[in-house]
């Protein structure tokens, strides 16, 4: 009632005051001279007067947002948890995802393609994953290939077939985004040819066509999984894309009719797995389902943050969860950074803490003990000590809430273990990872190390942190202190459950909730 009564009152007051202004400024001489100086002040006075009148009458402006009554039956969203690679890849993300996914309802991939690889050992059997989230081993989980992933369908279908032969029942549990872009065979051919032409300056690509597929996406002439639902349009656009590539890369030959025939045959099968994963994921979140994102590659291979150009073609850091899955940052929960107790890199590019690769060397010892060979390519990985400046850079970008320290057992037997703690260039400390790669390869660039005592005891049977040898505990504590991030999980052996879990209390998100 009061709100209705004050509207005409406010209008009348404003009208009367406005008339007063017109009368006061009816003289042209006064109007021009005084209006600029006094009108703002008078308007402010009017607003203040109206505020006092409304306050006296007990009137407040209606709010657009009103608190909703609490419904006990409404599920509380858990939040989306993410496992990310914190170094140059191959850190052991899949193993943690495999362990965690047993309690999650949805597992998702959000970036990259079949260039990624995870190896899981379960029940005496080894599983190799490239496109399918390793959470598929949980029979109750639904697996999502998000819109940020690029999909080579022949490889994807082969992977599904191999899973089926291994006894994994995946049907009805894999959903592919209709917005995910396709990798074609000619993308892979172009990728390989470009890498070969670079010669000694090669990037170290897996030649899986990932870069050229993302190039098609950014050029806006690519095709998406959902396009298979309209074969007439698909054929038209495929012809255009194939002709574009043959013109751009002389010598490239594409059997367009054969390719179209292949995709026409598999289209119904692929479409049976295709869905709007953005809608599915957000509905799953709202309904209280637990969602886990399985990161691929790693932060130092990020197209923006990595050692460019020796990087992948996507963003395997925290941002890809939002853009590659289609969720709000408000829905994120735990961000679990996976880091080896040492460091490896496959392919080309700077590696500040790299060890000399020679028979009998520590680098060779780490490679042999850690079986450091690529899941996707089989290439031998370069090995080195744990790099704290690199890890701090990665932590800054991703905001890790806890760490998964893998392969601690590989360090067993070394008399001393080094930790790279500082970058020094021309006598001055560097506060971050330099964007200029020449700095890291310069003779004026140095890494300062701390030396920790090693241990000889077998740690593969340890199930609690307190069971680790004292020197192994000291190493974990030192890494944790240097990074300022709690280490929750510690890998103590190659098998699926060879992990020490210190509990949810070793996570910044859970610590904040308990305060």
375 assigned ligand-binding residue = yes
357 assigned ligand-binding residue = no
* Catalytic choice (98, 118, 178, 208): 118
Query: How many Å apart are CA 330 and CA 124, to the nearest integer?
Result: 40
Those residues with Cβ within 8 angstroms of residue 279's Cβ, 6 or more apart along the chain or in another chain:
none
192 assigned ligand-binding residue = no
Q: 445-453 and 499-501 as β-strands: parallel, antiparallel, unpaired? A: unpaired
438 assigned ligand-binding residue = no
191 assigned ligand-binding residue = no
Specify which residues 367 forms β-bridges with: none
118 assigned ligand-binding residue = yes
7 assigned ligand-binding residue = no
29 is catalytic: no
492 assigned ligand-binding residue = yes
Helix/strand number for the chain, H first, E second: 15, 20
381 assigned ligand-binding residue = yes
**C-alpha distances in Å from residue 103, one per residue of 137, 142, 155, 289, 392:** 12, 12, 28, 10, 30
340 assigned ligand-binding residue = no
* Catalytic choice (152, 207, 208, 217): 217
498 is catalytic: no
Q: Is 307 helix (H, G, I), strand (E, B) or coil?
A: coil
112 assigned ligand-binding residue = no
Report DSSP letters for 46-63, one per residue.
Answer: HHHHHHHHHHHTT--PPP
116 assigned ligand-binding residue = yes
208 assigned ligand-binding residue = no
Asked if residue 487 lies in contact with residue 480, where contact means CB atoms within 8 angstroms, the answer is yes
* Catalytic choice (90, 105, 178, 191): 90
φ and ψ of 41, to 5 deg: -65, -40
498 assigned ligand-binding residue = no
Those residues with Cβ within 8 angstroms of residue 308's Cβ, 6 or more apart along the chain or in another chain:
435, 437
Specify which residues 332 forms β-bridges with: 80
115 assigned ligand-binding residue = yes
Q: The dihedral of CA 346, 348, 354, 358: what is its sign? A: positive
349 assigned ligand-binding residue = no
217 is catalytic: yes
Give the N- to C-terminal CA distance of the chain in Å, as an integer: 45
304 assigned ligand-binding residue = no
Helix (H) or strand (E) holding 37: helix 28-56
**Residues flagged as binding site for Mg(2+):** 90, 117
Q: Would you please indicate which residues are annotated as catalytic (active-site) residues?
A: 90, 118, 217
**Residues flagged as binding site for GTP:** 89-95, 117-119, 381, 407-409, 491-493
**Residues flagged as binding site:** 89-95, 115-119, 206, 220, 297, 312, 375-381, 407-409, 491-493
**Residues flagged as binding site for IMP:** 90-93, 115-118, 206, 220, 297, 312, 379
**Residues flagged as binding site for substrate:** 375-381
């Amino acid at each position: 009632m009061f709100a209705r009564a004050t509207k005409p009152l406010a209008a009348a007051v404003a009208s009367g005051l406005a008339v007063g202004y017109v009368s006061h400024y009816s003289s042209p001489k006064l109007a021009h001279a005084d209006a600029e100086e006094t009108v703002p002040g008078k308007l402010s006075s009017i607003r203040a007067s109206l505020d006092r009148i409304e306050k006296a009458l007990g009137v407040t402006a209606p709010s657009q947002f009103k608190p909703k009554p609490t419904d006990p039956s409404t599920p509380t969203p858990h939040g989306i948890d993410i496992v990310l690679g914190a170094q140059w890849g191959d850190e052991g993300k899949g193993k943690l995802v495999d362990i965690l996914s047993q309690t999650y309802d949805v597992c998702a991939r959000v970036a990259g393609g079949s260039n990624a690889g995870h190896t899981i050992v379960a029940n005496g059997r080894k599983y190799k994953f490239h496109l399918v989230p390793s959470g598929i081993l949980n029979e109750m989980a639904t697996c999502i290939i998000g819109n940020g992933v690029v999909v080579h369908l022949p490889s994807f279908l082969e992977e599904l077939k191999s899973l089926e032969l291994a006894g994994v029942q995946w049907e009805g549990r894999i959903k592919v985004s209709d917005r995910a872009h396709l990798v074609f065979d000619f993308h892979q051919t172009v990728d390989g040819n470009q890498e070969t032409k670079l010669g000694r300056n090669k990037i170290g690509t897996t030649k899986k066509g990932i870069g050229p597929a993302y190039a098609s996406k950014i050029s806006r002439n690519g095709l998406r999984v959902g396009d298979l639902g309209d074969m007439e349009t698909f054929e038209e656009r495929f012809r255009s894309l194939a002709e574009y590539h043959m013109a751009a890369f002389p010598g490239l030959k594409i059997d367009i009719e054969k390719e179209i025939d292949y995709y026409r045959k598999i289209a119904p099968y692929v479409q049976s797995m295709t869905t709007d994963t953005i809608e599915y994921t957000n509905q799953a979140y709202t309904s209280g389902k637990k969602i886990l994102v399985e990161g691929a590659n790693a932060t130092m291979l990020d197209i923006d943050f990595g050692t460019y150009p020796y990087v992948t073609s996507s963003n395997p850091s925290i941002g890809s969860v939002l853009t590659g899955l289609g969720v709000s940052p408000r829905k994120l929960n735990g961000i679990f950074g996976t880091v080896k107790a040492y460091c490896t890199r496959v392919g080309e590019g700077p590696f500040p803490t790299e060890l000399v690769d020679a028979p009998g060397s520590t680098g060779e010892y780490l490679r042999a003990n850690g079986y450091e060979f690529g899941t996707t390519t089989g290439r031998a990985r370069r090995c080195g000590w744990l790099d704290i400046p690199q890890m701090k850079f990665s932590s800054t970008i991703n905001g890790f809430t806890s760490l998964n320290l893998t392969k601690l057992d590989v360090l067993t037997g070394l008399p001393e273990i080094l930790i790279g703690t500082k970058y020094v260039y021309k006598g001055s400390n560097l506060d971050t990872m330099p964007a200029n790669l020449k700095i890291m390869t310069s003779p004026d660039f140095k890494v300062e190390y701390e030396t920790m005592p090693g241990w000889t005891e077998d740690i593969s049977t340890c199930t609690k942190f307190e069971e680790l040898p004292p020197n192994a505990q000291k190493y974990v504590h030192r890494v944790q202190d240097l990074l300022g991030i709690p280490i929750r999980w510690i890998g103590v052996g190659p098998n699926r459950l060879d992990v020490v879990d210190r509990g949810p209390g070793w996570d910044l998100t859970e610590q904040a909730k308990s305060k």
